[in-house]
Amino acid sequence: MHRRPAWNCLVLFFCLACCGIAGHVTASPDNAASRHVPQTAAAETQADTYIITGQEWAEGAGASEAAQLGRLLILETASRMPDHTGNALNCAHCHQEAGTKPGAAPFAGVTRRFPMYRARIGREQTVEERIQDCFERSLAGTAPDADSTEVKAMVAYMTHLSRDVPPGAKLVSRGIPRLAPPQESPDLVRGEALYQAKCVACHMTNGGGLKAPNGTVIFPALWGDDAFNIAAGMARLNTAAGFIKTNMPKGLEGTLSEQEAYDLALYVTRQARRDFARKHLDWPQGGRPEDARY
């Protein structure tokens, strides 16, 4: 039987951050921290920086029941909220390790940053609205009520992970990395060859991923009806490239070149996927990103 090596899987994990809830990561703390500055200023700079370590959950020590439920919902979104998910994805397919992994759209600090202005909707948005947005885009489903038990639990979980983040702190390793522009234009032919070499074993030739007999997703779909829709953040070239470079292939993270990440991202994001009926309402004040699919 053909084995599917876990290290050879380009598992593009897509959920809340697929829509960009955690934003883009900065590779290192502000350079001001390493410059010659007065001692008091250096102390203030250090205090205003929070490095996401991946240890924020700490086995749930001190977490409320709501936060514990929120963590379960992140890990098992499709099975626990079937009325609101339209594909087979869980939030943890994007927010790896239940939203604690640095550079994979971690949740630490998210509730410190909202409400915030979002160019895509042209106004300030609450964290609850941001979660709803991702249910409609990354999970291709319907938004739960902002005051529902599930949304409140997710916010409680994010708040717990953010408990040690100072207000206004610069977050290091948040979001998904933004890569430098590639030396060559991303290429579909190269991307397809890379996909065949590094991704097919888990995500299949048709991009549909792999499921257990009971329907549980083993490796998520990258395109098609079981994947994120065209309006999800991960449908954008730059977001997908940053995720691939930092988090894939599984077990060999960081081994792809930036050019390879862009080529793969172009191939994956240009495949057929669900549309989004309200896409014409996005960016009402302008500011549409150049890599948006519509």
Domains and CATH numbers, the chain: 6-12+178-281 (1.10.760.10), 18-26+61-177 (1.10.760.10)
Give how far Cα 184 sits from Cα of 36, 68, 198, 260, 271, Å.
38, 45, 21, 10, 21
Region 89-98: mean pLDDT is 95
pLDDT value for 181: 95
2: Cα separation from own chain's centroid: 30
Measured distance CA(236)–CA(20) in Å, rounded:
10
Residues sharing a CB contact under 8 Å with residue 149, sequence separation 6 or more, in sequence order: 69
Task: Tell me: pLDDT of 128 over 50.
Answer: yes
pLDDT value for 23: 53
Ramachandran angles phi, psi of 292, nearest 5°: -65, 150
Q: pLDDT per residue over 212-221, tens digit each?
A: 998 889 999 9
Q: Is the dihedral of CA 80, 84, 90, 96 positive or negative?
A: negative
pLDDT value for 214: 87
What are the DSSP calls for 177-213, one per residue?
E-PPPPSS---HHHHHHHHHHHTHHHH-TTS--EE-T
Ramachandran angles phi, psi of 71, nearest 5°: -65, -45
Cβ atoms 19, 289 nearer than 8 A? no
SS3 state of residue 148: coil
Give how far Cα 98 sits from Cα of 35, 111, 197, Å.
36, 16, 28
Task: Tell me: pLDDT of 69 over 80.
Answer: yes
H or E element, residue 240: helix 237-247
Give how far Cα 263 sits from Cα of 138, 150, 188, 191, 197, Å.
22, 37, 6, 4, 13
Say which range, 17-26, 138-147, 151-160, 251-260, has the weakest mean pLDDT: 17-26
Measured distance CA(282)–CA(120) in Å, rounded:
5
Higher pLDDT, residue 117 or 4: 117
pLDDT-derived band at 251 (thresholds 50, 70, 90) equals confident
Q: pLDDT per residue over 172-202, tens digit each?
A: 999 999 999 999 999 999 999 999 999 999 9
pLDDT value for 47: 56
Task: Tell me: pLDDT of 53 over 50.
Answer: yes
pLDDT value for 215: 86
Cβ atoms 9, 219 nearer than 8 A? yes
Measured at the alpha carbon of residue 115, what is the angle toward residues 110 and 117, in degrees to the nearest 5? 105
> Taking the complete model, does pTM exceed 0.85, yes or no?
no
Task: Tell me: pLDDT of 41 over 80.
Answer: no
